Amino acid sequence: MSRIAVYPGSFDPLTRGHLDIIQRASKIFDHVIVAVSNNASKKNVFSVSERIEMVEESIRNLPNVDCDTISGLLVDYMRRKKAKVLIRGLRVVSDMDYEFQLASFNRRLNKDVETVFLMPDDQYTYLASSMVREIARLGAGTEQFVPSFVARRLKLKFGSPKVK
């Protein structure tokens, strides 16, 4: 039986921290699905298709990793994919309260789902997509935080900052 894991998120944008978690998960599980959320209530910078393109570009050298889109309940998606493991990244202690609540809630919805927490490399513990979006919006370079193709897309999306 294949061990299938799902790593869900908005990935808006995909960061080097996300990639670190994906690579770690690919070494542990037979198949990893990076599930890009399609949450209409969230104001994302990139469309779902743009985010999927960025993830697919980043995982092309990982043969046991695929990308998909998800809307609706995560546990329903996992049931359809026959996935039993949910991957969540933990960066800092403050993430734990929310992530533990989420893990408990998902377990109540589907007792067969196990949440596995992976920590990124120390150099990525501070890294959050919201911070990357903000510095890109303000015109700073993002190459040290995201893959180069994502940095180019951020630059195109935000352009140069407007000077008053």
SS3 161: coil
Is 91 designated active site? yes
Phi and psi at residue 11, in whole multiples of 5°?
Answer: 50, 50
**27, 41, 42, 60: the active-site residue:** 42
SS3 32: strand
Both tokens of 23, joined, read 């690579």
Is 43 designated active site? no
Bridge partners of 5, per DSSP, are: 32, 85
**26, 37, 58, 129: the active-site residue:** 129
Q: Which residues of 139-152 are buried (b: 16+ CB within 10 A; e: fewer)?
A: eeebeebbbeebbe
Is 10 designated active site? no
**79, 81, 91, 155: the active-site residue:** 91
Give the whole-angstrom CA distance, residue 131 versus residue 134. Answer: 5
SS3 16: helix
**18, 31, 51, 88: the active-site residue:** 18
Is 18 designated active site? yes
Enzyme catalytic residues: 18, 42, 91, 129
